[in-house]
């Protein structure tokens, strides 16, 4: 086919040595940033907040009100859900504008984010119910965040690690959260089927929620 200049048009497709698509940094970064934001919301925004409320006696005071204890804890969720939705809207809009996300994929991405948010907030409630010192909680959150990011393929691709290490790490719930997010990003490289990612995430969320409910303490001295 000749273009307007009289030269024959060319179409070039770059692939890896094994025929796979080349690694797209932005397709990897956007899901990682979203997962990092939700992880920070769970650890710093939820666990640290709960520990501070317990240390100040606020939780003990709330537990003496007519409101059910479960209602008191659930009242913390809407604000965090709205914040997560705002982050998703911001990241999703940027991805759509950048051609990395099809608008039709937003609904499925929303479901993935919702499951991941429940899983991470359950972790936040678990830590917030067990730890007693705000300083210790902040220190643990600060240490746990980079460890989780580096060991679950959110900070850098697991493909950079030996297969003997990357394989087991790819089955961790947070790694599968990142994997599920990349299913909807154009150019995203995934390891597992989306239904499998969702199943592991949902099971983890259920387990963490049950454990958090059993171990949550309202007072620094007694359960």
**E strand spans, the chain:** none
Q: What is the pLDDT of residues 129-175, one digit of tens each?
A: 888 888 988 898 888 888 888 888 888 888 888 888 889 999 999 99
Composition of the chain by helix, strand, coil, percent to 5: 70, 5, 30
> Could you tell me the residue ranges of all domains in the chain?
26-215
User: How far, CA to CA in Å, does 209 sit from each of 41, 120, 148?
Assistant: 16, 10, 19
Residue 214's CB: how many other CB atoms inside 10 A? 10
Is the distance from CB of 87 to CB of 95 less than 8 angstroms?
no
Bridge partners, 101 (sequence order): 185
Q: Which of 127, 130, 159, 156 is nearest to 144 (CA)?
A: 127
Residue-wise pLDDT for 18-60, tens only, equals: 444 555 677 778 888 889 999 999 998 999 999 998 888 888 8
Does 7 have pLDDT greater than 80? no
Q: What's this model's pTM, rounded to 2 decimal places?
A: 0.83
């Amino acid at each position: 086919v000749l273009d307007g200049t009289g030269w024959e048009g060319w179409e070039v497709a770059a692939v890896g040595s094994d025929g796979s698509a080349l690694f797209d940094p932005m397709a990897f970064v956007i899901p990682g940033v979203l997962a990092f934001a939700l992880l920070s919301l769970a650890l710093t925004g939820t666990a640290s907040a709960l520990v501070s409320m317990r240390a100040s006696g606020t939780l003990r005071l709330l537990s003496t009100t007519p409101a059910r204890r479960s209602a008191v804890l659930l009242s913390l969720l809407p604000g965090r859900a709205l914040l997560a939705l705002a982050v998703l809207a911001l990241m999703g809009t940027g991805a759509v504008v950048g051609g990395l996300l099809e608008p039709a994929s937003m609904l499925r991405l929303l479901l993935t984010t919702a499951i991941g948010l429940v899983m991470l907030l359950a972790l936040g409630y678990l830590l917030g119910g067990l730890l007693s010192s705000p300083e210790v909680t902040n220190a643990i959150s600060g240490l746990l965040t980079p460890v989780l990011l580096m060991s679950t393929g959110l900070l850098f691709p697991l493909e950079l690690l030996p297969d003997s290490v990357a394989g087991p790490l790819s089955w961790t719930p947070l790694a599968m959260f990142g994997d599920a997010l990349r299913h909807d990003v154009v150019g995203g490289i995934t390891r597992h089927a989306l239904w499998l990612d969702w199943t592991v995430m949902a099971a983890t969320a259920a387990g963490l929620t049950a454990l958090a409910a059993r171990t949550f303490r309202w007072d620094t001295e007694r359960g």
